[in-house]
Amino acid sequence: MKDKEKKAPIGGLGAIKTKVGIIGAGPAGLTLALMLQKQGIQSIIIENRSREYVENRVRAGLLEHNTVEVFEELGVADRLHKEGLVHHGCYIAYNGVIQRIDFQKHTQREVTIYGQQEVVKDLIQACIDRNIEILFEAEATEINDFMTGEPSISFTHLGENKVLNCDFVAGTDGFHGLGRKTLPKETYNEFKIEYPFSWLGILAHSKPNYDELIYAYHNEGFALASMRSEKVCRLYLQVPNDEKIENWTDEKIWAELENRLGIELDKGDIFEKSITPMRSFMIDNLQAGRLFLAGDAGHIVPPTGAKGLNLAVADVRNLAKGVTEFYKNGSDELLKSYSEKCVARVWRVQDFSNFMTYFCHKQAENGSFEQLLQKSKFDYLRISEAYQKTIAENYVGLPFDVF
Ligand code: RFL
Ligand code: PHB
């Protein structure tokens, strides 16, 4: 919808107004709304799913030091500190030979294990407590006039067509959202890798009998042992892209995990299983006029580096700073450099996530040149403090303002 006639007038039937119209109540959109509210800037979030759905969507689990600090500053980290598990290192294994990466020693920083569903629950509750309006089951259908100073978002809610008039539009609507589809194609280049493997992920009522995460290369394929609490394990197995979840009985999953991880597991009740493809994707521009993309809307990293949610938080931190500067000092300098600043960090994280993915996954035949190079990297990791430090500082998250 390009012409203004089709839109309801401001204050008219179905039209509402705010400063920042945010599409998507994922970690990016919710964090942005709270950052803006802290600066006295009003926003409204439009989310096409129900509250129950977004609060129960199983995804990430690992928060960088930076991300935890942002949540502390926003006053939403109480439950995270009570229930989250702080880890000072992780293990990387190659066919059963284990090397610990010591985050504390190499970076004086740590990571926190806390499920994305819990993050989202905390953020939604804080938005509600702070009178930030979230319209659930409201689908954004069009972003209008974003090259002018008066953009708007057309959406449907409770069977009605509505319009949100705003000064800025934040496309924090994930990989399949409207934000990136709306960004003019001529403003960006697109980059992607589709990996020839996927992750079969499970959640189980089991006691993790490992104290830190284990990333395991194995001749049968990669496995990752993570956790959600002292009673819930989160585990992943590398599977082919065309794998069907029906082919994996619980017994087969546990046997394969024990084989690849080289440890005995507490084989409890599996209550969630799904297969996720692995991809790296990004565009090198995240803005046009008054439309700004953040989080998965602008980039996807394979989960081996545990970075997607953390990158989403880094993006919206830059966006909130730019919008705040605009309202407080009338300057759009930070907004103009928003994309450039975010994209520099995205490239660094893309490289690390891609490195971890190729490093840990089974790709080449045993004994092939590629597989022996991969093994050599692991042999080097075993003896090189420098290599360990490089992994540690990327894994815990580089400080925000270096990029
Ligand atoms: P989200 O979470 O996808 O939220 C976007 C929201 O927008 C809504 N939406 C719309 N709403 C209204 N109108 C429309 N037209 C809309 N279109 C979409 C959607 O319903 C949704 O609610 O994006 P956001 O906020 O950018 O957050 C990104 C993170 O969710 C993602 O990067 C992470 O989950 C990635 N990830 C991990 N990240 C980490 O930092 N650490 C980890 O340990 C980690 N592990 C993972 C992961 C992702 C995984 N999967 C399943 C892809 C492990 C896995 C297996
Ligand atoms: C998780 O706990 O879900 C998780 C942890 C680390 C990763 C990916 C996922 O690299």
CATH number of the domain that 106 lies in? 3.30.9.10
Q: Count structural domains, the chain.
A: 2
Listing DSSP states for 40-102 in one string gives T--EEEE-SS-HHHHHH-----EE-HHHHHHHHHTT--HHHHHH-EEESEEEEEETTEEEEEE
Same domain, 298 and 347: yes
Same domain, 226 and 346: no
pLDDT for 2 beyond 80: no
- Specify the pLDDT at position 3: 40
Same domain, 214 and 347: no
User: Which distant-in-sequence residues (6+ apart) come within 8 Å of 210 by Cβ?
Assistant: 91, 225, 227, 263
Same domain, 201 and 241: yes
pLDDT digits 0-9 by tens, 150-168: 999 999 999 999 999 999 9
Same domain, 140 and 204: no
pLDDT digits 0-9 by tens, 191-217: 999 999 999 999 999 999 999 999 999
Ligand 1 pocket: which of 35, 52, 113, 116 to mutate (most atoms within 8 A of CB):
116
Give me ligand 1 centre to Cα 207, in Å: 27
- Specify the pLDDT at position 60: 85
At 346, the pLDDT band (50, 70, 90 cuts) reads: very high
pLDDT digits 0-9 by tens, 275-326: 999 999 999 999 999 999 999 999 999 999 999 999 999 999 999 999 999 9
- Specify the pLDDT at position 7: 46
- Specify the pLDDT at position 264: 97
d(CA 333, CA 325): 8
CB neighbours of residue 327 within 10 Å: 16
User: Which distant-in-sequence residues (6+ apart) come within 8 Å of 6 by Cβ?
Assistant: none
Domain assignment present for 67: no
pLDDT digits 0-9 by tens, 350-378: 999 999 999 999 999 999 999 999 999 99
Same domain, 259 and 368: yes
Same domain, 95 and 123: no
d(CA 233, CA 207): 7
Give me ligand 1 centre to Cα 125, in Å: 18
Same domain, 157 and 128: yes
Arithmetic mean of pLDDT, 333-346: 98
CB neighbours of residue 206 within 10 Å: 20
Same domain, 369 and 224: yes
Q: Which residue has the tokens 């500190």?
A: 81
Domain assignment present for 82: no
- Catalytic residue numbers read 87, 215, 303, 307, 395
Q: In this structure, what are the phi and psi dihedrals at residue 274, rounded to the nearest 5 degrees?
A: -155, 160
Q: What burial letters (b/e) apply to 186-200, b meaning 16+ CB within 10 Å?
A: eebeeeeeebebbbb
Q: In this structure, what are the phi and psi dihedrals at residue 353, rounded to the nearest 5 degrees?
A: -65, -40
Predicted structure pTM score: 0.95
Same domain, 322 and 373: no
Same domain, 103 and 201: yes
Q: In this structure, what are the phi and psi dihedrals at residue 107, rounded to the nearest 5 degrees?
A: -135, -10
At 121, the pLDDT band (50, 70, 90 cuts) reads: very high
β-pair partners for 214:
91, 225
Same domain, 202 and 345: no
CB neighbours of residue 330 within 10 Å: 7
pLDDT for 11 beyond 60: no
Domain assignment present for 68: no
Ligand 2 pocket: which of 59, 119, 232, 236 to mutate (most atoms within 8 A of CB):
236
Give me ligand 2 centre to Cα 226, in Å: 6
Residue 390: domain span: 88-111+195-279+359-397
CA distances from 314 to 95, 260, 294, 321 (A): 35, 34, 9, 11
pLDDT for 1 beyond 50: no
